Structure 1
Amino acid sequence: MTTPQRTAQRFPAEQARAFADAVVAIAMTLLILPLMESAADVTRATSVPVWLDEHGSQLFSFVLSFGIIAMFWVNHHRTFQRVKEVDSGLLWCTMAWLLGIVWLPVATALSGHLEADDRAVKAVYIGSMTLVALLSLLQLLWLRAHPVLHEMDPATINGTVAMATAMLALFAVCLVVAVVFPGLSYFPLFLMVGVGPLGRLFKRIMGPGRPTGPEPQ
């Protein structure tokens, strides 16, 4: 394959990075809309404590989802800061990841309006997070397989893959526990504090990775 043909398949990562940042910012903003609607319906006879009590589940879902999306964005932003170019495969992985991010405000609204012990609600809400974690891992695996796209050494990309694998594994565990034991509400998500230790364990298992040269131009 000639150099012009291969170059045409890749383009600088700045536009893709800026687009992803904008979409994530919009998704995080959309999280507040259900609360804005309920606040607009407040009458003078309604006190603030009453409103907070009536919409406690929505407030909890909002804060939780905001934190989860922020975590996904921070990890994505740190990775893409070291991505030089984007090819079609990475672009479509990123578009799928953004689809999951944009869906999260919908899953959040459902979890805030429906019963907390509803298994289907748990499956949709935590399942959506699990899907986004899977798509995050797929982006990293694509980058690891195509070192020409980024500036990360093998040890760095392997460590990042290990952390993403740990995050996916813990989200999957949270999903199973929340569906099997719906009375626990969303407290199984506190298992996510174990991402760091589990990620370090996976990193030791995976090893530093083998040095890879640049792909032929």
Structure 2
Amino acid sequence: MSDGAVEREESRTRGQFSAERTKAYVDAVVAIAMTLLILPLMESVAEAAGKELSASEWLGEHWSQIISFVLSFFIIALFWIRHHQLFADVEAVSNTLLWITVLWMLTIVWIPVSTAMTGQLETGRVVEALYIGSMIATCLCMIVTRRYLRRHPELHEVEPESMRRGMLVDLSMGILYAVALVLAMIVPQVGYFGLFVLLFVRTLANVLERSPIAR
């Protein structure tokens, strides 16, 4: 048995949590959050049927809500993929790591609420801050998770280079979400279109990789 395997076995005997159960719980929470995104649209369909509106009339009234649903669905999916890829090599979960993961899940389950706000409330700086700000919080939780795992190699088998690269991508996402938020605050016409800056995540990560921050 390798030294790392021995350390992980000892970790389990010290009352740490099963990584597999934690991963399954995270998957369930994310699945529920993604499902909750559709509920406001389901309610609006029922209301439209009660008013005898046509499908085209419903689409015309709720197009912005539909766009925010699709956008949030793929954003949560992206966050889950990043988290799933990281935890695939996590073999033990300490109390601290568990609570960091709980905070990450909190930011995920908030996204359906902020999405409902964007579709049903008047768009404004507060709504945009709550929506985009929740994504910044998710990125910060991922960065904290990676930093913690990097300091506790006994919990995982993630390669150092993979951990470093993942950290740069998460940092890049957080920076670009912050840029999108600033754009939404100072240029109201931009709104949520500022989120398209996320297309430059890989580019920014490559830039950061060549900077002192990556060393």
Q: TM-score, normalised by structure 1?
A: 0.89
Higher helix share: 2
Cα gap change, 1:158 to 1:4, in 2 (>3 Å): closer
Query: After superposition, what is the alpha-carbon deviation per residue over 1:127-156, rounded to whole angstroms, capped at 9, x for unaligned?
Result: 111111111111111111111111112111
Give the match for residue 48 of structure 2: 42
Native 8 Å contact 2:17 2:95 kept in 1: no
Query: After superposition, what is the alpha-carbon deviation per residue over 1:28-56, rounded to whole angstroms, capped at 9, x for unaligned?
Result: 00000000000011237411111001001
Native 8 Å contact 2:172 2:205 kept in 1: yes
For the residues of structure 1 that align with 2:193 and 2:11, how far apart are their CA atoms?
A: 51
Alignment of 1:44-193 (within 5 A): 45-116=52-123, 118-193=124-199
Aligned-partner SS, 2:34: helix
Q: Structure 1: any 5+ residue segments left out of the alignment?
A: 210-217
Cα gap change, 1:46 to 1:144, in 2 (>3 Å): same
Q: Which of 22, 27, 31 is the aligned partner of 1:25?
A: 31
For the residues of structure 1 that align with 2:212 and 2:35, how far apart are their CA atoms?
A: 37
- Equivalenced residues, count: 206
Cα gap change, 1:5 to 1:86, in 2 (>3 Å): closer
For the residues of structure 2 that align with 1:175 and 1:72, how far apart are their CA atoms?
A: 18
Query: After superposition, what is the alpha-carbon deviation per residue over 1:31-89, rounded to whole angstroms, capped at 9, x for unaligned?
Result: 00000000011237411111001001110110010010000000000111011111111
For the residues of structure 2 that align with 1:154 and 1:136, how far apart are their CA atoms?
A: 16
Q: Name whichever of 20-29 and 80-89 sits farther off.
A: 80-89
For the residues of structure 2 that align with 1:4 and 1:152, how far apart are their CA atoms?
A: 19
Q: Structure 2: any 5+ residue segments left out of the alignment?
A: 1-8
Q: Name whichever of 43-52 and 181-190 sits farther off.
A: 43-52
* Alignment RMSD (CA, Å): 1.9
Q: Percent identity?
A: 47
Q: Name whichever of 18-27 and 140-149 sits farther off.
A: 140-149
Give the match for residue 215 of structure 1: none
Q: Which of 202, 212, 215 is the aligned partner of 1:196?
A: 202
For the residues of structure 2 that align with 1:76 and 1:191, how far apart are their CA atoms?
A: 21
